[in-house]
Structure 1
Amino acid sequence: MTEDHRRVQDFFTARAADWDSRFPDDGPAFAAAVGSLALGPGDVVLDAGCGTGRALPALRAAVGPGGTVVGMDLTAAMLESAVRAGRDRSGTLLLADAARLPLRTESLDAVFAAGLISHLSRPGPDLSEWARVVRTGGQLALFHPIGRAALAARHGRRLTDDDLRAEHNLRPLLARSGWRLDAYTDEDDRFLALAVRTS
């Protein structure tokens, strides 16, 4: 395990028990973001960095009982919180690294990732790994329940041009990693980048 992985695990382990209570009003934002994906009955979707599983019920509703929902996270304590919240009933929980997914090539219809991209130690290779497991024409949603400026303000930082999630940085990064950015929204109450897996 790398030092970056340990840092991420330490950060989220310390916050797992009260994560949902810190952000109690995010549910509708997660549901709306999932709704922006063109998921259908029977689809197979991964929630990468699922945390406490807040997107899992909406993902289950989108793919129906015949679909497959996998929630993956690097931090066991976050997955334990997902189980306590009953969200394991909406999907299979998997303790794994987003950079090395234990999934077959082109086995998914979509990847949903909430708040994860800023925690990736190697964004380009990691996005390429997600592209590997998604079929051509499949989708990627990079989501956060608040926009870049609001998030920076929350953490007492200035928004800078080198922010990975800025459209001028994200679009070429995705293109180099097997994705085409199709829609980009960065508002105070939502960040959402939708991309399609290219051939």
Structure 2
Amino acid sequence: MSDDHTHVQEFFTARAADWDTRFPDDGPAYTAAVADLGLREGDRVLDAGCGTGRALTPLRAAVGPSGAVLGADLTPAMLKAAVRAGRDRDGQLLLADVAWLPLRTESLDAVFAAGLVAHLPHPTANLRELARVVRPGGTLALFHPIGRAALAARHGRKLTPDDLRAQANLGPLLAGSGWHMTSYVDEDARFLALAARVD
């Protein structure tokens, strides 16, 4: 495991047990973001970097019993928290790195990723791997339950021009990794960038 991965695992292992109680009001924001992904009954969707699996229940509701919901995360403690919360009933949990997914090429209709982009060690390559597993025309949602400015303030930081999630940076990043950004919202109450898989 690389130092990048070890650092990410340590960060989330330390926070896994109380993650949901620290952010108890995020549920409706997740549900609204999943709705914007435009999933249909029977679709196959991955929650990349699923953490404690808070998106799995709205994802399951969106694709119905005939759909497939997968949740992949690098941190065993996060997946254990997802199981404790009963969210493994809504999706299959995979201990996997989003940089190297154990999934067939073009096997999914969509990827949902909450809070993932900031933790990607190699954003272009990592987003390209997400593109690999999605069919042409499929969708990607990059989500955070609060916007960039609110998140920076929460961590006592200022927004900088090199923030990957700034629209001016994210559009070209997605374009260079198999995606075309179709919408971008950065408000206090949420961040949501949607992209389509380029053929």
TM-score by length of 1: 1.00
| Residue aligning to 1:20 | 20
Identity over aligned pairs, percent: 73
| Residue aligning to 2:86 | 86
How far apart are the structure 2 equivalents of 1:61 and 1:160?
A: 37
Residue 60 (structure 1) shift? 0.1
Residue 120 (structure 1) shift? 0.3
Show the 5 A alignment for 1:70-149.
Answer: 70-149=70-149
- Please say if 1:194 is aligned against 2:194: yes
Q: Deviations over 1:133-157 (max 9, x none)?
A: 0000000000000000000000000
| Residue aligning to 2:64 | 64
How far apart are the structure 1 equivalents of 2:2 and 2:166?
A: 26
Q: Counterpart amino acid of 1:160?
A: T
- Please say if 1:48 is aligned against 2:48: yes
- Please say if 1:185 is aligned against 2:185: yes
Q: Which stretches in structure 2 are left out of the alignment for 5+ residues?
A: none
| Residue aligning to 1:39 | 39
Residue 190 (structure 1) shift? 0.2
Aligned residue-pair number: 199
Q: Deviations over 1:55-110 (max 9, x none)?
A: 00000000000000000000000000000000000000000000000000000000
Q: Deviations over 1:156-189 (max 9, x none)?
A: 0010110000000000010010100000000001
How far apart are the structure 1 equivalents of 2:10 and 2:198?
A: 35
How far apart are the structure 2 equivalents of 1:2 and 1:166?
A: 27
Large movers: runs of 4+ above 2 Å: none
| Residue aligning to 1:175 | 175
SS in 2 for 1:11: helix
SS in 2 for 1:139: strand
Residue 2 (structure 1) shift? 0.5
| RMSD over aligned Cα atoms | 0.3
Residue 42 (structure 1) shift? 0.5
Residue 15 (structure 1) shift? 0.6
SS in 2 for 1:80: helix
Residue 38 (structure 1) shift? 1.1
SS in 1 for 2:185: strand
How far apart are the structure 1 equivalents of 2:97 and 2:16?
A: 17
How far apart are the structure 2 equivalents of 1:15 and 1:157?
A: 20
| Residue aligning to 1:2 | 2
SS in 2 for 1:28: helix
Q: Which stretches in structure 1 are left out of the alignment for 5+ residues?
A: none
